[in-house]
Structure 1
Amino acid sequence: MRFNALFSKRGLAVLALAAAVPLVLPNTMNGVDIMGEAQAAGTETAIFAGGCFWCIESDFDHVPGVVETISGYSGGQTTENVTYKNHVAARHREVLKIKYDPSKISYDKLLDIFWRSVDPTDGGGQFCDRGHSYSTAVYALNDEQAKLAKASKAKLETSKALSAPIRTEIAQAGPFFAAEDYHQDYYQKNPVRYKYYRYSCGRDARVKQVWGNQAYSGINK
């Protein structure tokens, strides 16, 4: 980390863990709970990896049409018992599962917000958080999402809006593992620590540098 270890992502997570008993929510795949619980009627699901899931959760919680967000892990080599302690070794990314109302916001619009809330030109992580687990990705839950994500990425590349190639992976979604309870809504549970972390990590400053006036305006509300 580039700043005091106490206020790094991992340092803050350790502090939170000491004050809470983690609760692992059910795992899901392709929008359907592995345990058999169907997705809520009238909603659809998107899964994005955008660096620290505390931050991307905060961003998307303020998007009209988003019904629910769950921080978690996905994209790695294991299919069970994935936790904050072992997800890095298993090559999972920190991700956000977004349930949204398609009558109020489209998947295309969610993609647009996602691009403009991260640095898609950084293939080595996001901001001060380095490594594969913090790198960006779009995990498509079906063929239509894959088609839309690839088209959105291609449009962005053609537009030359960014000064460097896009390094964000677009891949088929695999199993989703909900993060421990102390990670969920971290920005609400620990607002002072969260704001210090986000500022120290340079997330908003870098997004503004990359996107200028096209940066997602809902960041850090």
Structure 2
Amino acid sequence: MRTRFHEDLEQLANQLHTMCLRDRAAIAAATGGLLDADLEQCERAVDICQELDALRDQCEHTAVALLALQSPVAGELRKVVTAIQLVANLHRMGALTEHIADIARRRHPEPAVPESMRPIVARMGAAAVAMATGAAAVLASGDPDDAAQFEAQDDTMDGLHRELLTAVLADDEHSSKAVVVDVTLLGRYYERFADHTVEVGRRTIFMATGCTPEEWAAARHGEL
């Protein structure tokens, strides 16, 4: 019976990893479509986000079956419940990505981002792809040390977000109100995408150790 449980738990972990990889593919395609005014890349991003809906349902079905049929206890229960929370984070990353692609599609064939702000948005997109790549690696390894690195990466994204907002305010007289609104929203979507990768890291630490990230960090500091 426990062999079946651990097989199903591994299946759930693999499903979460797949979701995160699809998030990475989606944000890469959406960013490419946004910066290049490329409708095909935008449509690819939207298609991937729709795949994430099905993957979410599969993950939730697996998790519910584990809870209802396998009676997990202690650490096993922690892993299943945390996996359900991770599903929500990973699905939300896809939803935010779809919003990015939708802005690019709505403005097509015109670029959604003014030329002066494109370098900042490009860096935000690259940071989002890097964070999704790291989140997928952490989900595969379960390593709390790697999971703890997302806070610093999120600081980078927050700095880019502030830089973009400063550029929007400085360019307000030259851009239409619609463009200002779109770019402001884009910055928020990338920033929130990064926040969810941080949550993936935080939840991975709890799943692996049974401690909150703060408790785990304090214990690690005490060992040094």
Band of TM-score, shorter chain: under 0.3
Higher normalized strand content (fraction of residues): 1
Higher normalized helix content (fraction of residues): 2
Structure exhibiting the larger radius of gyration computed from Cα positions: 2
Structure with greater contact order relative to length (CA < 8 Å, sep ≥ 6) = 1
